[in-house]
Amino acid sequence: MTQLKQLSNRRQNYWLMVAGFMMIGLVWGLFQLQSTTTIGVVEKVQVLQRQPITSSYQNHDQQITQRLQVRLVTGPKRGQRYQVRNRYMRSQAVTNRYFVGTPVVVQRASASTLILLGPQRSASLLVLLSVLLFVLVAVLRQSGLVIIISAVLNSLWFVAALLVMTHWQNQHMLLITSCAALLMTLGTGILVFGLSRQTQVALSATLISIILTLGISLLFLTLSHDQGLHYETLAYGVQPYKTVFIAETILGLLGAVMDETTDITASIEQLMQENPDLKPRQLYQSGLQVGREIVGPLVNILFYLFLAELMPLIILYLRNGNTLQFTLSRTMTLGYTQTVISAIGIVMAVPITAILAEKWLQGESK
């Protein structure tokens, strides 16, 4: 017993070591990137002036002027101190309030003056990412590592897809997205669940559901002549609007549908292990049952994610004298449609996965 415990302790240390190495890699990469910018740290903060501001639509705010003492921590003038002024609004929509200890990105204009470019975010982000990596590996060990590897791989596919799109000047965008989606599905499925029958069913159900959902949804959109949709409100206006919109939809749909299909197949697999002589029909029924139970929570995830991200923009619209109806039509028609299409995908995946699981079992018992 004690031997067993020692062994498991040693394995735990091993995973922690792997996490440690990953963190060192992250820190090293960040330092490489940062070596091209000049970074300072705020040492002293003094408020010089507070001025009330009233703008149109009865918006009241306060403009505050800070005097900051910044010490450079990188570059040839490391250690030198400069005085910089910073003006910010109390609401901080596009300006920032600085505190003692804030790292800032700066540019030296002359021997005695410094231009403040903005806060340096990557160091704190690194802390956040390291904590997550560490906790993941410490709690889940090997599975934690698998999660991290699959997340990194998927991000690489995503960046690769973006690079190819840029290279081809935004041509064939749908083809590229579909290929990336296929690679992500296969990669995640095999890495996380292994090359089993269960994975095969889940992956084929995912692909079939996505294709069917996209087909039906696009047919509906075309038949209604994109009624109510404002493609021109697409963020950052990357052309062609409709193609980019569909590419975004494919990616969102993929995550949601894969979640549903893997959950259903996993519980059918478990059921089959518990009572091996279940009839295919019963498996189909219980697959439906499991699927129905998770439809609601899954749709909620997407719904909250999409609405929460829009909040700052909606509030800005409302405070600028716009009606709620106009605000919503300018901010959420595209996101709403994408969320509804993903929800349709989630619902369609339930019977598709259950049918595939039934067929797959019939094939196995013959």
- Out of 14, 31, 304, 326, the only residue in the binding site for another protein (CB under 8 A) is 304
Residue 132 engages another protein in binding (rule: CB under 8 A):
yes
Structure tokens at 172: 């064939």
Smallest distance from another protein to CB 28, Å = 14
Closest CA to 350 of 269, 281, 291: 291
**Using CA of residue 79, residue 84, residue 90, residue 93, what is the dihedral sign?**
negative
Instruction: Pick from 66, 198, 337, 353 the residue near another protein by CB under 8 A.
Output: 337
Nearest CA among 309, 307, 206 for reference residue 250 = 206
Cβ of residue 191: shortest distance to another protein, in angstroms? 10
Instruction: Rule CB under 8 A: say whether 347 interacts with another protein.
Output: yes
If binding is defined by CB under 8 A, does position 278 make contact with another protein? no
Which helix (H) or strand (E) covers residue 106, if one does?
strand 103-108
d(CA 70, CA 65): 15
Q: Are strands 81-89 and 103-108 parallel, antiparallel or unpaired?
A: unpaired
Of the two residues 185 and 361, which places its CB atom closer to another protein in the complex?
A: 185
The least CB distance from residue 53 to another protein, in Å, is: 6
| 206-to-190, 261, 286 alpha-carbon distances in Å | 14, 6, 19
- Window 204-243: residues binding another protein (CB under 8 A): 216-217, 220-221, 223-224, 227-229, 234-238
Considering the complex, what minimum distance in angstroms separates the CB of residue 341 from another protein?
Answer: 7
Q: How far apart are CA 136 and CA 269, in angstroms?
A: 26
**Binding residue (CB under 8 A) for another protein from 18, 45, 303, 355:** 303
Binding region for another protein (CB under 8 A) out of 67-75, 107-115, 150-158, 358-366: 150-158
Check residue 65 for interaction with another protein (CB under 8 A): no
How many residues sit in the footprint of another protein (CB under 8 A)? 128
- By CB under 8 A, residue 125 contacts another protein: yes
Shortest gap between Cβ of 313 and another protein (angstroms)? 7
| Site residues (CB under 8 A) for another protein, limited to 164-193 | 165-166, 170, 184, 188, 192
Provide the β-strand partners of residue 36: none
Beta strands in 109-214 (DSSP E): 114-119
For residue 27, state whether it binds another protein (rule: CB under 8 A): no
Cα 255 from Cα 185, distance rounded (Å):
9
Identified binder of another protein from the candidate list 42, 201, 283, 344, rule CB under 8 A: 344
Q: How far apart are CB 359 and another protein at their closest, in Å? A: 18
| Amino acid sitting at position 218 | L
Question: Which listed range, 4-12, 72-80, 146-154, 358-366, lies at the site for another protein (CB under 8 A)?
Answer: 146-154
Minimum CB separation of residue 112 from another protein in Å reads: 25
Contact between 156 and another protein by CB under 8 A: the answer reads no
Binding of another protein by 72 (CB under 8 A): no
Pick 159 or 211: Cβ nearer another protein:
159
What minimum distance in Å lies between the beta carbon of 7 and another protein?
16
Kindly give, in sequence order, each residue whose CB lies less than 8 Å from that of residue 366, ignoring residues fewer than 6 positions away: none
Residue number, 12 or 143, with CB nearest to another protein: 143
Give the nearest distance from C-beta 300 to another protein in angstroms. Answer: 4
Smallest CA-to-CA distance from 317 within 309, 308, 326 is with 326
In sequence order, what DSSP letters do the residues of 311-348 get, joined into one string? Answer: HHHHHHHHHTT--HHHHHHHHSHHHHHHHHHHHHHHHH
Q: Is 316 in the site for another protein (CB under 8 A)?
A: yes
Mapping DSSP onto H, E and C, the string for 188-215 reads: HHHHHHCCCHHHHHHHHHHHHHHHHHHH
